[in-house]
């Protein structure tokens, strides 16, 4: 979020533009929404549609309607992890990013945690599918 509003994290200050702000905020909101959907793999609302949803409330969700998109997402993020794992830890080095040490630490921490998303989503999906299909 600081990058969207022109804060350079100790390095070059980039002027905020409507494109940067909308892109970074949109990407942040989208990634949070998908991360929160992962809770459906371990919560009741991932098995039965909540009663407050019009026309669908109280209906059972088919396990494959959840397992297939979650597996595809987990595989996608795992493949992305391999790509980012090599690039994220080179920030500020050979790539020549103009950011200072504070940005490097933040970027490596966030990217390092992001690399776990795919494998953990696959583990949650496997547990969800096994729990739902063994009944």
DSSP state of 103: H
List residues bridging with 60 in a β-sheet.
Answer: 48
Helix (H, G, I), strand (E, B) or coil at 24: helix
If you average pLDDT over every residue of the chain, what do you get?
A: 80
The residue among 91 and 106 whose pLDDT is bigger is 106
Q: How many CB atoms lie within 10 A of CB 77?
A: 20
The residue among 24 and 72 whose pLDDT is bigger is 72
Candidate from 19-28, 67-76, 84-93 with smallest mean pLDDT: 84-93
Please, which pLDDT band fits residue 23 given cuts at 50, 70 and 90?
confident
Q: Which of 2, 5, 63, 69 is nearest to 77 (CA)?
A: 69
Residues in contact with 5: Cβ distance below 8 Å, sequence separation at least 6, in sequence order: 16, 21
Look at the block and give the residue holding tokens 């929404």. Answer: 33
Q: What is the pLDDT of residue 82?
A: 74
Mean pLDDT on 77-102: 63
């Amino acid at each position: 979020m600081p990058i969207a509003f022109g804060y350079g994290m100790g390095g070059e200050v980039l002027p905020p533009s409507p494109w940067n702000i909308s892109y970074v905020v949109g990407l942040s909101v989208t990634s949070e929404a998908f991360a929160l959907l992962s809770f459906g793999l371990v919560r009741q609302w991932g098995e039965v549609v909540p009663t407050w949803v019009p026309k669908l409330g109280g209906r059972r969700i088919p396990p494959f309607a959840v397992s297939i998109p979650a597996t595809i997402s987990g595989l996608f993020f795992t493949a992305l992890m391999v790509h980012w794992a090599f690039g994220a830890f080179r920030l500020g080095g050979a790539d020549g990013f103009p950011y200072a040490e504070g940005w490097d630490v933040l970027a490596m921490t966030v990217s390092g945690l992001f690399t776990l998303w795919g494998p953990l989503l696959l583990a949650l999906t496997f547990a969800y599918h096994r729990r739902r299909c063994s009944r």
